[in-house]
Amino acid sequence: MTRAVLTVLALIALAGCGADGDPVRPSVNTTVSAGTGGVHTSVSTGVRVGGVNVGVGVGL
């Protein structure tokens, strides 16, 4: 799974620098929430190209 995450992040970085066409802007979201069940965190990253949005998220 680590290899897949690193591959996706590398592709997002490649698209972000414009090496394969027009540069696109990646997005990163982090969330930290606290409740009666404890503290929960999540991180997601994605990129939007035209009408297509590709993203990866991890909840801890």
3-class secondary structure per residue, 1-60: CHHHHHHHHHHHHHHHHCCCCCCCCEEEEEEEEEECCEEEEEEEEEEEECCEEEEEEEEC
pLDDT at 28: 82
> Looking at residue 9, what is its pLDDT?
75
Q: Which two tokens stand for residue 19?
A: 């090496």
Q: Which domain holds residue 52?
A: 2-59
pLDDT score of 44: 82
Domain count of the fold of the chain: 1
pLDDT tens for the chain, 60 residues: list them. Answer: 677 778 777 777 766 665 556 666 778 888 889 988 899 888 888 877 766 777 777 776
Q: Would the pTM of this model clear 0.85, i.e. be above it?
A: no
pLDDT of residue 20: 57
Which residues have a Cβ under 8 Å from the Cβ of 17 and sit 6 or more positions away?
A: 23
Cα–Cα distance measured from residue 20 to residue 14, given in angstroms and rounded to the nearest whole number: 7
